[in-house]
Amino acid sequence: MGIITDVKYGMLFGFIGFALTLISWYFATGALDPRFPAVIGAGLFGGGFLGSLMRRLHREGEERKANFIFLAVILIATILLIADCISDILIGNWKSTLTNWKILRFISIFASVYLICYMILRIKKSKDVKT
């Protein structure tokens, strides 16, 4: 029964995100192009689903599973950022679309590595079974 609730929350956040993005896109540009709002809606669906799933896992005492899910999301989000920043630094491309400042590349690399290490530490410290 819990997974159905998680999917419902995900669908709710996804539809709300799609509608708000479509409306704001129309008022900003004057054209209705549903591709960009669909991506935003899918991202919000995934975020709503994973957020409610992690909340339920924490409530049930399954901290380790919730931390593994959070680590997976952080890895997916930051591995490509780290690879892009490192490749730009190595080839000397400082005029990339990501940032125009050199220091922001280093900050984003260190922040991403810190988040990954922090989540690994939380997984090591989390309880394995429900008490």
User: If you ran DSSP here, which 8-state letter would residue 93 be given?
Assistant: -
Mean pLDDT of all residues belonging to the chain: 76
Q: What pLDDT was estimated at residue 73?
A: 82
State yes or no: pLDDT of 130 exceeds 70: no
Contacts of range 86-92, beta carbons closer than 8 Å, 24 or more positions apart: none
Residue 126 has pLDDT above 80, yes or no: no
- In this prediction, residues 88-112 reach a mean pLDDT of 72
**46 pLDDT above the threshold of 70:** yes
pLDDT on residue 34: 67
- 8 band by pLDDT with thresholds 50, 70 and 90: confident
Q: Are 70 and 121 in contact (CB under 8 A)?
A: no
Please check the confidence at residue 129 and state whether its pLDDT lies above 60: no
**Strand, helix or coil at 16?**
helix
Q: Is residue 95 predicted with pLDDT exceeding 50?
A: yes
- Count Cβ neighbours within 10 Å for each residue of 18-33 and write b for 16 or more, e otherwise: beebbeebeeeeeeee
60-77: average pLDDT = 83
Mean pLDDT, rounded, for 35-63: 77
> What is the per-residue pLDDT for 131?
46
CA distance 101 to 16: 35
Q: How high is the pLDDT of residue 75?
A: 87
pLDDT of residue 93: 67
71 Cβ partners below 8 Å, 6+ apart?
A: 116, 119, 120, 123
Work out the average pLDDT over 24-53.
Answer: 73
